[in-house]
Amino acid sequence: MTSDERGFMQLALDEARRGRTSPNPRVGAVIVERGEVIASGYHAAAGQAHAEVAAIRNAGRPVAGATLYVTLEPCHHHGRTGPCTEAIIEAKIARVVIGCRDPAPHGPGGIERLKRAGIEIELGLLEDQATALVADFAKHVKTGLPFVTLKAAVTLDGKIASRTGESKWITGEAARTETHRMRADADAILVGIGTVLADDPRLTVRHVEGVDPVRVVLDADLRTPPDAAILDPKGESTAPVWIFHAEDALRSHMDALALPEVELIAVPRHPRGVDLGVVLKSLGERDIVRLMVEGGAHVHGSFVEAGLADRAAIFVAPRIMGDAEAISFAAGVVVDSVDGSARLVRTEIRAFGSDWLVTGDFERTA
């Protein structure tokens, strides 16, 4: 593939990231004719036009003989919208360049259908990026569970707060704005009761455009105050609040949180609070595909210890706490050797002001 073709697929990937598509995958498409982009499109939301159809419509004219660059294998099944393969065939597109195959059980078949129609197919352009773009969707359709990203802001020595629990602000404004962009991209934000009591967060999207995600609290004994900011007493957000509590939590505490915007969900108790496996299964059944876990330390530690986290997104500030009793990113994890520690792969580092964002996927061992 030429550098121009990689550039066209990169444009399609950029288009895909514009969508808020859960539980569908993010997909982008670009139509090229004689080496020039004549149209682009993306899947904006579930139930709306898929990327290929959007691009064809956006061309505003016939695209017969053109090349379509699309990040994901075109669908060949009937859902809320018709098969993209038929729209491509009807438009008489001559060549389709695809980033990666569709991981969904009903997904395969699009490439074969297009080939039978005489359309030239190229598969695997920027495949790693295309696959990473739909990693959340792939996990959800294969396991029924959400894709879990652990997010935190830490000092150079890995502390998220002082020994008193004070954490405002470890990072600068640019990093905090990026955090809100990440929230806007998530279906749900999850925190533990410790974070609710210590920081009284709202967990809403501010500083950027976007829809507030579902707010999820792990609160085994239902200690969330009825006037907590996350319960939105000022009516600033319409996003629901789901509180997962232990099945044996006191009934009086349930009554105190019987609010219109709050749903209480009982799950088995666990030594660390509540059973995270059951929590994730419930979230997946509610079509939560992208879950961002914002802490605190014991919640992060629980996800790491249980092997339930898929990705980490850690903002690192040029600060050193230097206090052994300051709060670390992940607490309660017992590791006997460096080899036994959790390791990130496919890491990337980006600068936000004077801070760095380190992202990577948790390495899976056989």
Question: Catalytic residue positions?
Answer: 52
Q: What is the 3-state secondary structure (H, E, C) of the chain?
A: CCHHHHHHHHHHHHHHCCCCCCCCCCCEEEEEECCEEEEEEECCCCCCCCHHHHHHHHHCCCCCCCEEEEEECCCCCCCCCCCHHHHHHHCCCCEEEEEECCCCCCCCCHHHHHHHCCCEEEECCCHHHHHHHCHHHHHHHHHCCCEEEEEEEECCCCEEECCCCCCCCCCCHHHHHHHHHHHHHCCEEEEEHHHHHHHCCCCCCCCCCCCCCEEEEECCCCCCCCCCHHHCCCCCCCCCEEEEEECCCCHHHHHHCCCCCEEEEEECEECCEECHHHHHHHHHHCCCCEEEECCCHHHHHHHHHHCCCCEEEEEECCCCCCCCCCEECCCCCCCCCHHHCCCEEEEEEEEECCEEEEEEEECCCC
- Give the Cβ contact number of residue 252 at 10 Å: 8
Which pair of tokens denotes residue 132? 């990473």
336-358 per-residue burial string, b: 16 or more CB within 10 A, e: under 16: eeeeeebeeeeeeeeebeebbbe
Taking the alpha carbons at both ends of the chain, their separation in whole angstroms is 34
Residue type, 137: F
Whole-angstrom Cα distance, residue 66 to residue 94?
6
Collect all residues with Cβ–Cβ distance below 8 Å to 277 and sequence separation of at least 6.
Answer: 306, 308
